[in-house]
Amino acid sequence: MIKDVMVRLDGTAADNLRLAAAKSIADTFDGQVIGLFLNPLPLPVAADIDGAGAIEAAELFRLAKEVGDRIEAELRARLAELINPVELRRFDVLPGEMVDVATREARSADAFVALRPNGALEDPDRFVEGVLFGSGRHLLLVPDMQRGEPSFDHVLVAWNGSRESARALAEAMPYLHRARAVTVVVVDEIPPVEEQALLGSDAVSHLKHHDIDASLHHVKSRDEGTGATLIAEAERQKANLVVMGGYGHSRLREWLLGGVTYELLHKAPVQLLVAN
DSSP secondary structure, 132-185, as one string: HHHHSSEEEEEPTT--SS---SEEEEE--S-HHHHHHHHHHHHHHHH-SEEEEE
Domains 4-142 and 154-274 are alike in CATH topology: yes
The residues spanned by each domain of the chain are: 4-142, 154-274
Residues 6+ apart with CB under 8 A from 120: 144
Residue 206: Cβ-neighbour burial (10 angstroms; 0-12, 13-18, 19+): middle
pLDDT of residue 238: 94
Identify the CATH assignment for 154-274 out of 3.30.1020.10, 1.20.1090.10, 1.20.1530.20, 3.40.50.620.
Answer: 3.40.50.620
Q: What does the buried/exposed string (b/e) look like for 136-170 if buried means 16 or more CB atoms within 10 Å of the residue's CB?
A: ebbbbbbbeebeeebebebbbbbbbeeebbbbbbe
Picking from 168, 154, 164, the residue whose alpha carbon sits closest to that of residue 246 is: 164
pLDDT at 117: 78
4-142: CATH homologous superfamily?
HUPs (3.40.50.620)
* Residue 11: predicted pLDDT: 94
Write down the pLDDT at residue 34: 98
What's the Cα-to-Cα distance from 185 to each of 122, 151, 209, 237, 254, rounded to whole Å? 29, 19, 18, 11, 24
Give me the pLDDT at residue 196, please.
67
Distance from C-alpha of 193 to C-alpha of 221, rounded to nearest angstrom: 15
* d(C-alpha 127, C-alpha 122), whole Å: 9
Instruction: Return per-residue pLDDT of the chain as tens, 276 residues.
Output: 899 999 999 999 989 999 999 999 999 999 999 999 999 998 776 655 556 667 777 888 899 999 999 999 999 999 999 988 999 999 999 988 999 999 999 999 999 999 887 644 445 557 888 898 889 999 999 988 766 678 899 999 999 998 889 999 999 999 999 999 999 999 987 766 556 667 899 999 999 999 999 999 999 988 778 889 999 999 999 999 999 986 434 444 544 444 677 778 888 889 999 998
Task: Please report, as a single letter, which amino acid is at residue 203.
Answer: A
Strands 32-40 and 181-188: unpaired
